[in-house]
Structure 1
């Protein structure tokens, strides 16, 4: 079978970006960082929940990251932001 070279599909590229983001947060433990912007607060809140609970594989184990959704106060566009930080392994998993 011969390989077929083409740009990475968007869903895989997004997954790789999430792993890169999670690693960058691990490298700077405890520091908050803007990780994504969304048009609606509900979408930002959903993503923050998925980060906190480890539903996104890149941000496992659950509880290792804190995440919050905030309305962007600098713009009148109604956009929202997802902020996250790495806090380390939960006490039960650190042992």
Structure 2
């Protein structure tokens, strides 16, 4: 009986970790950090290769990356719906 209780406790702990990971993955904090780090990385790269106005030019790819990550849940729903239909 103790073994069963331990397994249940392990499952509950795992579920808490999964829920926390999911909360992080969908948080606006993570999304904002991704946008900022993407912008900085592209800006530094453009500055190093001596592109004119690197910080201004870094906006477009950073915004494009952000938009692509924001639309993923929408496309995931479509993909899952089609997959479910094909599996049946």
TM-score norm. by structure 2 comes to 0.32
Which one scores higher on RCO, CA 8 angstroms, separation ≥ 6? 1
Higher helix share: 2
Higher strand share: 1
